[in-house]
Structure 1
Amino acid sequence: MARWKELPGELDPVVVEFVGQLRRLKDGSGLSLTRLAARTGYSASSWERYLSGRLLPPAAAVEALAAATVGGTGADLDTARLLALHEAAADAWQRDRPSGRTPDHEPPPVAVAPAAVRRPVTRLRLYLTAGAAFAAGAVIAGVAVGSEMPTGSARTAVVAHPVTYACTYVRKAGAWYAGNSATSNDALEVDMSGPEVAELQCLLQRAGISPGGVDGNFGPLTESAVITAQKRYHLDVDGRVGPHTWAALRG
């Protein structure tokens, strides 16, 4: 069993309980971070951030962890309870960081609008269910009753001045460019953003590997696409972009 470091003291108790549950699932599975990354599609470095409380995982990563570690006839119910606890933790995380980016790094599409009309009683029921499963009921219920929780759409990253990126492919000196950046060696990884990331996403699309859209944000979908590209081109698979990955995608 891993000897975990103490979580950051500024974390909300709901987040602490949630991360503790992730750690218990990981320890109970006996999987190393490398094997966990292979089973879930999220890199070992991402799981290190999630399990250390430095970054809250997206719901898709939580579902992947549950699929890799939760077994038995009650697996579906256990996964639902874990996701309910994740939802409560995400609300607490966003409340503590109202102007910061959230772990999903998704653009604000119209598709998220239905989440804004869900009734608070539904969320309260989810919180209480999660509390019964993970012995965090008192904390979760207190947060849910004490203040109106932000809806799922409130956790979407808010960009004060949205930037629109396009992919305009040009081949120069045997290399492909998409019109956002000419870099061939900038190091990119999860949580970074900007035109270099948009260039990366365009090149991934040109290679037939979807990064989940071209928005200039290096989120989990882009990381997964990078991993796929690194496997295809027989590179070191770490979900990070360096000179070798750039060369393969521009070639």
Structure 2
Amino acid sequence: MKTALITGANKGIGFETARQLLQHGYHVYLGSRDAQRGQQAADHLRAAGYPHVTPIQLDVADSASIAAARAAVGQQTPVLDVLVNNAGISGGYPQPALDTPLSTFREVFNTNVFGPIEVTHAFRDLLRQSPAPRIVNVSSGLGSLTLQNDPSWRFYSVKGGIYPPSKTALNAYTVALAYELRDTPFKVNLVCPGYVDTDFTDHLGDSSVTGAATRVTNVALLGPDGPTGQFFGQEAGSDLNPW
């Protein structure tokens, strides 16, 4: 049975991505910063008929938590086929570039940039044991410098000094990682799930959680001829269906 680890998976897009990968026959390690909420999410999935789910306490902003999660997953499986770096925070809006406290910049970058990097580093040995490892980093169109400079883009006025730059940095890291792994079976890609109706957007989004998770799942399920180092999502005009 193939395996997947999803960070920030106790609710929203991460939870629905877990459900969809379970439907595709994966055993899912459901990462959650709060252990109790992760257990509740796993119990909900099991009650819905998906027994192959294991909650893992994982705070991507805490090195000790990442190391403990790696040890916990490694005790149960020698192979990880899919890593979805989904956990993220916005830092709150408005976030003026000049007046937002530096501590908030550090908090957001620690979760949105350094978190995915450290998780990837921690689990790379298990991923290397897979014949077809996939890394999916959940990003945002707000991190696109091209879109941010396009007055015709519908979110052109949504500027923030912290969250968008954190996703820009994640995008750049992902492209570099994909290039480094270009001659291996790895596929490393970015997905913008869209403006989604979740707690993250105060339920103001106009895209469903199911549709957003489908974008993530599709990239996680890429076949051997699929792309790597790419950005997928509605805002990029490049939704992907690998089937």
* TM tier, smaller: under 0.3
Q: With structure 2 as the length reference, what TM-score do the two structures score?
A: 0.26
The structure richer in strand per residue is 2
